[in-house]
Structure 1
Amino acid sequence: MAEEPDAKECRKCRRDLPTAAFARDRNRRDGLQVHCRECVAEYSAAHYRRRREALGKPVRERVDVPAGHKLCRMCGEIKPHSEWHRNATASDGLSTRCKACRAALGREDHLRRSYGLTKAERDALIASQGGVCCICLAAVPAHVDHCHETGRVRGVLCFSCNAALGQFKDQPEAIRRAAAYVEGNAWKPTLVAPGVYQLPS
């Protein structure tokens, strides 16, 4: 038994430790578990490893993380707490993924929900375009373009070209007139009735 009243012997490691080193157990006479916290943690880790290996699942290795930092299991990086969103329900008050990984997951979810595409399918579409915007053939494609009536994905455009199509409301005739205008063939509409214009031949 422990020699000091504020100490207790762990039945597993046989060390005399302060009572704070033992978790509570109301079923024990002294109100403390018989094994110290350190021994319980070692047993839990070993049990976790055996259970995961029996199921054929990967075992997460324990990583030493400095104070004020947290390991993101998605990207595998140790980052300061400022790189995490708050989560009041978590034991440490932080999200399970870092801000960068959450943003990446959000983009993938948006692709799937809005266009029915995976990231790999979107990347394959960009590769089939030669890695450039389908319209300007210069800028980096970043925005998936689709038909607002059928929902069919047409391609991946740069921000400017995607915004331009939106401004033209996907009307091919308006886009053709804009092209003619830019080429110097401006047409002068003739008003033949309220709201009705006659196009030049």
Structure 2
Amino acid sequence: MAGISRAERARRQALLEQGLKECTKCQKALPVAEFNRDKARWDGLDPHCRGCRNSYKAANRETLAEYSREYYAENQERCQRLTREYLRGRRAEDPLFARLRTAASKARRLGNHVESFTSEDLIHSWRGQGIDPAKCIYCDSPFEQIDHVRPITLGGPHIPENLIPSCAACNSEKRDKPLIDFLADRAEAEDTEPHPAVGRYVTTWEPTEADKETAA
């Protein structure tokens, strides 16, 4: 933290110890989860919060897109190499990264709403509802896959509120069924109780008329 006073350095460190960081743009002290990672910074975090970053990108979308195109054209080989290295590193340190990336790409191809969030954001959301990220929400088996409660093929958005941990067997069995239909089929076939949090998802993602027609 070169160039700042000892008192300011101590103030920033004290905020971090509370799980907070002050955005240098909006000047708000926010949870560290609101900042992207930046290994070049002393604290490993972007100095601007995600809200400010997103606002800047929205206001300068065309300018940034043109710059990116020009830079990539002039540095294509370097960009491809750095991308490969980045993806290898992220997959190694974050098992959820590749799954979320693949699901987001599929949702975009289908024209569905996609939000930007990290694995940490998703796990925090699950734990906040009492959901164990290491277990399938449907049968308590070990976690293997991420399930979109409202299927992507039915217009389901790629957002934390539409994602739950699942095992491969349950996710394969549910496939493109609306959640309420899947749970009804499971209740008839076997005497198992899903996680209590599933009830909230049933209410949030009630099947639409289009879903019912597809299921029929």
- Name the TM-score class by shorter chain: 0.3 to 0.5
Between the two structures, name the one with larger relative contact order (CA 8 Å, sep ≥ 6): 2
The structure richer in helix per residue is: 2
The higher radius of gyration belongs to 1
TM-score (normalised: structure 1):
0.35
The structure richer in strand per residue is: 1
